[in-house]
Structure 1
Amino acid sequence: MSSTRTILTGIVALPVALIVLLAVLVGIQPADSCTAQVLAGGVAGPTGQSLAGLNERQLQLARNGVVIGKQRRAPESVIIAELAAMITESTLRNLANSNVPESLSFPNDGVGADHDSVGPHQMRVSVWGRVGIAALMNVAYQVNWFYDQAATITGAASMSSAELAQAVEVSAPNAYAGQLDLAQRLYAMFADIDPASMPAPAPGQPAPGCGPGSGPPGAPVPASGYGQAVVAAAQRWIGTPYVWGGGDANGPTGGGFDCSGLTLYAIYQASGGRIRLPHYTQAQQDSPAGQVVPFDQRQPGDLIFLTSAGESDSHHVAVYAGRDADGTDLVIHAPQTGETVTTAPLSRVAGSDHLDVRRYTTPQPRSPTVEEGKQL
């Protein structure tokens, strides 16, 4: 991200019209119509607004930064911080990256070459790529990422918008203060939009897209009945204390659950006792009952395993619970000693860990062979 910020720092005092010039220089590409029609947790369609130097696609991105922030009930200063960050990082564009060839196959507003940074917040694939390139090239995912990160920062409410943007993006140099005027103007332009009037996807469901059952890039598929049962079993114990080694197929032991105790319970209960996982994260991940699932095919009820960089065994596991109305991926998990079973944003739980998804399907009854049938 550093080279993009360095360039932008030098032009912050120039007229806004230079943003368009910069966009032309990197080669804006037409946006995919499906992505333009819907952004999970945002709002689609023409903005009906104009601002010198910004095109309609840039205004749409700014509008969704405001809308998603308002849907999440973020304070005005936090929304302005998100806008200032997008202006500084990408000049309000969903950028692919020539150093990340797979990003070029996704709808984008231009192609950059800053390290392996992609999207409006220029998220590094080497740092955040565990979710898959489809998610990183999803505008709504990146906007929600910023708000997720901001929510974890101690003292965020007392920070200025520029300070908060810096705390989330960890930029060198800090260039966000120079974009606050434009960010404030964009906020004022879209601040009157009522989030309650906007359609939002149900938890665990993709937003409507260009065809039946379609959704934005990276959207999870709908939950199966079995997946819903896994989520319901885990949700039953929200608020239960974390206990190392706690939990079995019948419920909490020693007064609580650890992460793998909660997941083995949820899978056992949802399967009617037909799937009994071991009480160890890597053993659960390796269980022959589990099906390897690409992250972009995740659905509620899947288990997500977290592995630290450089390690071979996963150290944590959570139940994927779907997305909330803002498009944020949620998990149910037993975090650590001193905490309780809870629902949390996946981005907050995962940090920089590698993610693996497993789906445990209930075995189907075997039909008897001809010989066995004769013996019945």
Structure 2
Amino acid sequence: MARAVGRSRAGTATGLVLACAAALLLAGVPASAQTAPPPPPGGTAAAGAEVGRLVGQLSTLQTQLDGLAEKAGQRQELANRAVADDTAARGRVEQTRRDAATTRAAADRVAADAESARTRVDTWVAAQYQQADAASIGTALAGTRGPQDVADRLQLQGLVTAEQSADLESYENARVEAANSDSRARAAAADAADAATRAAATRDAAGRELGAARNAVADQQRQITGVTAQRQAAQTRLAQLEASDAALAAQRRRAEAAQAAQQRAQDSADAAARDAARARLARGPAPAVSTPTPSPSPSSPSGSAPSGQDPAQTVIDRALSELGTTYAWGGGDANGPTQGIHDGGVADAFGDFDKTGFDCSGLMVYAFAAAGKSLPHYSGYQEDAGAKYPLDQRKAGDMLFWADDDGVHHVALYLGDDKMVEAPESGKVVRIAPVRFDDEIVPTVTRPLG
């Protein structure tokens, strides 16, 4: 900021302009993002020089803090992958267990039917021994190969009725079906056991990944704490200088007023965009969409866009309708904002676990549910949720992604005109922002709606 101001005026003027930038930094806004009002006369060169040094230090520290917060947010989203993998694995285990239980119950019913048929056969065979010539029965049974063979021989000899022959046939069929059903039940039980084993491995891997992500976030948090302490010391010294220099204090007040006016204008614009989006959504019926179980691949669509509306616009409006909603790591599903979860680091420091809101992938889950498209709650899996196109072919309604060597760590919804809507990171809110065409932006976009 000091270099941008230049040295066209005396140290007093430079110091006062820098004081304006310092005021903006004290308010938590990077100096580079604002334009200071012209400095008034007054002040001292010595004070201006120290203010210049402090503001330069604050600007550097603020840049460091922004970078650390962004990196922490990236680690948080990678932790979402571990959560999604574990949840999907648990879901698969439960499904295979239910399938195995259903198959076993069916096998047990078939076995019971076979036992009933065997009992009926036993009853009338015993009666035949008691009522008929034992020698004839013995001759009929000699060398038989099974119930059906017995039935055939006895029927030829006139020793069984048609009903009894049917009982024998029913028993033979039931016995075969019982054996097949038992085999299927055993196979289903084996599948459930295998799924449980695989899920345990997935859970262990997810636990390690989540632990690594949390350690990375904790490391970022420690750095943030250190940089914040340095910034606080610089801010304290600036406050002391302002207290002893009326011109600096006046400049600070003007800078704060300018910043407040800019924030009010931004809030007003966001509110207008939010209200317009909600009005468009209200023109058609909202789809009935349930929260999908996260999985490495997107689940099938449910619901549809409001009648008469372009699905992509419906998705955009769904996202814009949440402008200003707080960021909460782990928050958001197909039905709206949800309470965040613990991350063991930055998100916990911001109290995300006690807030209701969205993280970046949660906002996408909610937005696309409006058009009947279910997405997993991890940006890396969302990248594979539709057709991919080169970045330079992007259009409104596409998803944009950012990645590093560890994988995809952020997602946003493209609005057109190089603008996007996103849930950025802990401590911030859902917002409209310029697309960041940095070296981490993925060179393709994903178009879930075709």
- TM-score by length of structure 1 reads 0.34
Structure label with greater radius of gyration: 2
Would you tell me which structure has more helix in proportion to its own residues? 2
